[in-house]
Structures are given as C-alpha cells and as structure tokens.
Amino acid sequence: MKRPVVWLSAALALMLVAAAVLVATRETPRKLTERAGRVLVISLPYVTWSDLEGPPVPNIDRLIDSSSVASLTTRTIGRTDLVDGYLTMSAGVRATGGDAATDGAAFSVDEEYGHDVAADVFRRQTGTSINKGIVHLGLPAILDANDEEGLDALVGVLGDALHRAGYSQAVVANGDGGSPISAFPVYERMAASALMRSDGVLSKGRVDAGLLSDAPEAPFGRKLNVGAAVEAFNDVWHDHSVVLVEASDLVRATRYQPLAVKGQRRDLFKQALRSSDRLVGELLKTVDLKRDAVIVLSPVPSVLGSTLTVVSVHAPGIEPSLLRSPSLRRPGFVQIVDVAPTILELVGVKRPTEINGRPMTVASTGKSAAERRAFLVDEIDAAEYRDQVSDAVIITFIALQALLALGAVLVLIGRLGAKARARVRFAGLALLAFVPAVYLARLVPFHEVKPLYPVFLIVAACALAALYRVIGWRHTLDPPIIGLATIVVLLVGDVILGARLQLDSAFGYTPTVGVRISGFGNISYAALGAAAVILAGLVTSRVPGRAGVQIAIGIMGFALLADAVPIWGADVGGVLSMIPAFGITAALLLGKHVRPRLCTVLLCVAAALVGLVIASVLDLSQAEEQRTHLGRFLEEVNDNGFSTITDTISHKLSQNLATITSSLWGVLLPFILAFVAYLSFGSGRLGALMRRIPELRAALIGFTVLAVLGYFLNDSGINIPSMMLAVLSATLVTLLIRRDPSEDDRPTRSQARSQARSQIQARPAR
C-alpha cells in the first residue's frame, strides 16, 4: 500500500517543480515603455473583427495589420450603450450613462441649446463659467446615475490626469441624426465624455453640426464631412496632445437600423464603414507612426450583441503581436477599463489610483497579421457559441439530476426492477462523467460543427461512465472513485497547462463577460473542491491503514495547490474555503475529534488567513503586469484604504443574494436538497451508508463546510453549492444502488433504534 503514497508524493513534487519552472521560463509580456509624443484614438463604434472581413477597408487594414491587436471586452454597467463605453474609458472603471436624452449633449460653448447657448446652460447646472471649448450638459445626470448604482467611477479622471501633466485633450465627433420615435433633436456626441475632465469640460475639439454635410443616401440624410473632420483634427494635433476622432457615420448607421429593412441595414453599415476607412486614411497622413501612438477601438457592443469588439495599438518600439490585459491574463483579450491606463502609459503619465484598469501589454505569438485576425475571429465565434448553449447545457444537467434523484428514490423503495436499478446506477456514473465531458468538449471546435455538440456531451458522458464501470468492476467503490478522480485530475491538469478547457466551456468562463478568463472559474472550483473532498473519504475507505489517509490528504493538497497558486488557479475564495474544509476533513480522517467550538472556528480562520497571506506574497512577488486579481486588490487596498475591503464584501454579498432568484443553478438546489433530506431523514439510508463507509462522514462534514464557505466567499453565490451538490448527489446514487439489491444499505428498525441510542449516549453532558 505504500506505492500509491509514493506516486502521490511524486505528483505533488512534480507540481511544485512545474510551478517553479513555469515561473522561471515563462515570457514576461512587454510593457508599452517607449513614450509617444502624441496619441490618436480612432473610435469605430459597433465594429467587430468579422465586420472588417466584409467591405474593402484598406486604410484600416494597413494600420491594424501593423499594430498589436486583441478583442476588446466592452462589458460595462447599465445599458452597455455607446455612452457607457466612453464613460468607462473616462473613468478607468466600469461606469454608466445617465439620461438617454442628455448622454450625448456635448456642445461648443457658443452653440445654441434651446433658447440659450450651451455656456449659459452649463453655468446654471454647475456654477462654472466657461468661455471656450466644449461642455457636457449631461454631466449632472451621469454623476447621479453612477452614484445610484453605487459605483466608484470618477468620470473624467483620465482627462484630469492628462490635463495635470500638460497634455491637451480633444475630441472630433458628431453622431447626430434623428430619432425613430421622436421629432425632438437627438444629440449623439457621447465621444466627448471619453476625454472630458471631471468638471465636464473639454478644452479643445469639435462636436458641432458643422462637421456634417447633407447626403440623401446616408442614414438620416447626413454624413460626416471628412474634410471638415480632418481640418478640426489638424487644428488640435500637436505635441503633448491626446485626440479622439470618432467615425460617427457608424453611429448614424446603427441608430437608423429600426427604420430600414433587414437587407438595407447591413448595406448602410457597410457604406458607413467605407466612409470611415476614408477618414482613417486622411488622418494617418498627418500622423508620424514612428513617434506617435494610434489606438483603434470600438467602445460598444455590436448591433448583434457581441461584447467583443476591435482594438489595436500601434506604438513606438512595439512589434505587431497580440495585446494582453494584465487583468484577464490571456493573449488576445483586453478590457475596456484598460484603455485609460494604456493611454497614460503611452505618454508617461502615472496612473491615478481611482483607475482600476491596467496598461495593456504585448504578448509575443509569432503569428502573421492574417493569423492574428483569424485567431481573434475564431475565439469570438467560440465565445458566442458558448453563450448560446451554456443555458441549455445547465438546464439539461439540472433536469438529468432531478430525474436521477427520482429514479434513485423509486429504486430504493423497491418500485423498479433489476434492469432499472442497473440503469439508474449507470446514470449516476454518467452524470458524474457529464462534468468532465463538458470541459473535454473544448478539444473540438464545435462552434464550427454546432449540431454535433449535444451528441458529443451525451456520448462522452456515457462512454466515460462505461469506462468507470469496466475499470472499477472489482469493487463497488471503484467506479465513483475513478469518476471523482477524473474530475480532479482533468481540472488540475488543465489549469496547469493554461486552463484551455475552461475558456468558452459551458461550465467555465467566457471573454464576453470579461471579468475573469484565467485560472479557475467559480463553477470549476466548485466541481474540483467537491470531487476532491468526497474522493478523499472514499479513498481512505478503499485503501486500508495509514496509507489511505495519506493519499486522501495528498489529493486534497493536490487540489488546493492547483487552486491557490497565482500562476494556476489564482482563486482567493478557493483558498479561504478549501483550507478549513480540507483541514477539518483531514483531521477527522486522522481520527482527531473536531467539535464545533469557538477555538475550532478561530483555528480554521487563522489557517485560511495564513494561506491567503502566502498566496498574496507569491502574487505580489510577480511583476505588476503579471499579478492576478488578488495582487491588484491588495494594491487597491493600499491606495484607497480599508473601505475597499468593506465595499468588496458588501458587493459580493449582494451578488450572492441576487443569484438565488436570478441563476439557473438555483433551480437545481431544491431537488438535490430534497433528495439528500430523504436519504438522511426519510429512509435513513445515508446513515446506513456512513456505517458501511465510516470515512464518508468526515468527507460529508468537510463538504458541508466547503459548500457554505464557497457560497459566501464567491460572487457566483448559489451556483457554487448547486454544482457541489450535483457532484455529491451523483456519487451517492452510485454508492447506494449496488449491483445486488441484498447489498443495499437498508437499516432495520432495531439498527435505527440502536443508532439513535448510541448518538444520545455520545452527546457530552451539559
């Protein structure tokens, strides 16, 4: 029995060696360290990478092909409209617009607004007198909206930082057209909010109607006058300047879509894209790409709903490659909150602490321009397909879990025959196998062969279940042990190799959300933690003596190490929940008495905090651009004080409570809880099972601690215990329904009375 212990020790040692090798050999993404004299930001609203595959846009193509590129996650807060993207750029954190009627109300100070001029209206709103430049009359509503959302967004922090450093900010844009439902003027000048200061003022630029010309063939009969826009750009393009130019015809084409037939909508958008290409070509005639930086981006989701849009950076000293966000830590994906710090990095201005985003870095890939684009388009297709099928996969999983519980109850009360009990037991193994099958599906590009995806999940789950049964034919415990071990080994191995199976998996994460696409996602952590702690109990029962306990502790350490190490799982909630849960389980398996006392709680808290400190030290020891969300969170605490911690806790709790009614996973919880309650109190079978497998009691106690802490310490809320209970339920079915009905764990009345009497006698005297 010593051989398994040696193997497990070797595996743990190999993990540590692999971690050290990865840290020592991995390439550090390059920072945008070479300063640019000026920065031009070209906004192409509503444009995705697939849009650029359509009409010929040679000027945009030449610029992008000589730049570093990525898909931009434009997920913000609120309506995710154009104004939200620009305001998020302005604040460096997720921000939202205010009143849709005034979100684009930016005017030159001498422009008429109703019966007044903009400067007079702005003075009444803010008490500030401005005699030149551009003012945003929607500022009061924007500030109120962000306050009501409880956001920490300081709108205008980017403009303030540039202004203090002596850089001028200017915007050239005008998306005015009209409204399909209103005869009143609709102002679409949201671009001004991207670079305005926190007082709502933009010192230079042009947003007035003089930028437009009549065009009967264009949406609303108006289009951007390229000559006027370029002239306005040349007026503000000088040393120490940051200028944003919007291809505003794209805004009009998008706003006009409700008024056009389906085929015409696309034609109008292509027409706007071609005119935008002419604008880009004229702008680049006055840009020196050897000393100036040019950022191309779309700050708003496409009309089809894709939150992944275009972004590229052409900067001095940077070879074309893939951009990388320090927040997302995956080449080819950046967040819109990273735009502001990237602009500041390019001009050498220190990032204000109010900005949560981090400067984009460049990851070397060796891909050609065509290969980079093809990679980004393919990743977007995979992400969007994942979003289409994820709910269906979760609903299917929930339905199968409910049917499994019902079938198990019918078998246990003797309503089904021998063939049915064999099928129910196999179904338990198949649902246990369904979890790794969902991740293994990422090995095949099912977004290209969509009809085969559900077929693969069913066939893979059944094939794995059959394999578990064949390999584990010698002992009743072996099939569930193999099934649980498959989940642990697959998830740990995947995260060590870069978590490729989690990206765009139905149980993983997606860049369309853009919060986290590296390490362990919350659902994956739940599956890993549940499988590891249950597996520990079963292995201890299967392998007699001290060796079984050592293997069990090694399995939990295996999972904890993969979940906690910053370059792998980087899971803060996992560290804080796994250490107490696994520690209690290990103590019980070692024969220690663990009682629910204050000292036990304090010991668990102390152990979790020690683990968190170790993870924090490891994370902070990395270069700033390599740090995970834990390291960045600690930086925010250092910058903004203890309120960052309380705000984060409050935010997580509110999100947890919201998932009870909003998450599909919440539907699963009542079914499994009712099933476990029946096994515990309705039939007594769970007690009988624990008498047959005494080590299972320790695993179930640790499982309960893990599920409760996992719920409170992760913002996915009810999703965490639901996935954990799904793993537990499938395992219990395979353990309770044995090959021979005479082997079932059915306690007699005398056994039940004897068990109750023993429990009463075991209670400590008060």
Chain centre distance of CA 303: 22
Q: CATH no. for residue 229? A: 3.40.720.10
Chain centre distance of CA 342: 21
Confidence of residue 752 (pLDDT cuts 50, 70, 90): very low
Give mean pLDDT, residues 391-418. 90
Q: Give the pLDDT score at 421.
A: 84
- Calpha distance 557→535 (Å, rounded): 12
Question: Do 453 and 428 have their domain in common?
Answer: yes
Give mean pLDDT, residues 489-513. 91
Question: Do 388 and 338 have their domain in common?
Answer: no
Q: Give the pLDDT score at 708.
A: 92
Q: Is residue 537 part of a domain?
A: yes
The amino acid that residue 360 corresponds to is M
Question: Do 383 and 362 have their domain in common?
Answer: no
- Write out pLDDT tens, residues 610-654: 877 777 776 666 666 666 666 666 666 666 666 666 666 666 666
Number of domains the chain contains: 2
Q: Give the pLDDT score at 469.
A: 93
Provide long-range contacts, Cβ within 8 A and 24+ apart, for 382-388: 382/445, 382/447, 382/504, 383/308, 383/504, 383/510, 383/511, 383/512, 384/306, 384/308, 384/447, 384/512, 385/446, 385/447, 385/450, 385/504, 386/447, 386/504, 386/505, 386/506, 386/510, 387/510, 387/512
- Write out pLDDT tens, residues 221-236: 999 999 999 999 999 9
User: Residue 747: is its pLDDT beyond 90?
Assistant: no
Question: Do 69 and 106 have their domain in common?
Answer: yes
Q: pTM of the entire structure? A: 0.86
Give mean pLDDT, residues 409-413. 89
User: Residue 168: is its pLDDT beyond 60?
Assistant: yes
Confidence of residue 750 (pLDDT cuts 50, 70, 90): very low
Confidence of residue 198 (pLDDT cuts 50, 70, 90): very high
Question: Do 236 and 96 have their domain in common?
Answer: yes
DSSP state of 679: I
Give mean pLDDT, residues 469-482. 91
Q: Give the pLDDT score at 115.
A: 83
Tokens representing residue 347 in the block: 């001009």
The residues, ordered by sequence, that sit 6+ positions from 263 with a Cβ below 8 Å of its Cβ are none
Q: Which residue has the higher pLDDT, 100 or 765?
A: 100
The CA-based diameter of the chain, rounded to the nearest angstrom, is 95
Question: Do 148 and 109 have their domain in common?
Answer: yes
Question: Do 285 and 431 have their domain in common?
Answer: no
Helices (H), 26-166: 58-65, 82-91, 118-126, 139-148, 157-164
- Calpha distance 470→678 (Å, rounded): 30
- Calpha distance 209→58 (Å, rounded): 28
Q: Is residue 374 part of a domain?
A: no
Residue 400's CB is within 10 A of a number of other CB atoms, namely 17
Q: What is the residue-averaged pLDDT of the chain?
A: 86
Give mean pLDDT, residues 190-214. 94
Question: Do 356 and 446 have their domain in common?
Answer: no
**Domain endpoint, select from 366, 395, 414:** 366
Q: Give the pLDDT score at 655.
A: 66
Q: Is residue 26 part of a domain?
A: no
Give mean pLDDT, residues 590-600. 80
Core vs surface per residue 578-594: b (16+ CB within 10 A) or e: bbbbbbbbbbbbeeeeb
Q: Give the pLDDT score at 555.
A: 93
- Write out pLDDT tens, residues 685-699: 899 999 999 999 999
Question: Do 292 and 436 have their domain in common?
Answer: no
Task: Give residue 186's domain range.
Answer: 37-366
- Least confident among 1-10, 178-187, 623-632: 1-10
Give mean pLDDT, residues 380-396. 93
- Least confident among 77-91, 105-119, 516-530: 77-91
Q: Is residue 756 part of a domain?
A: no
The amino acid that residue 656 corresponds to is N
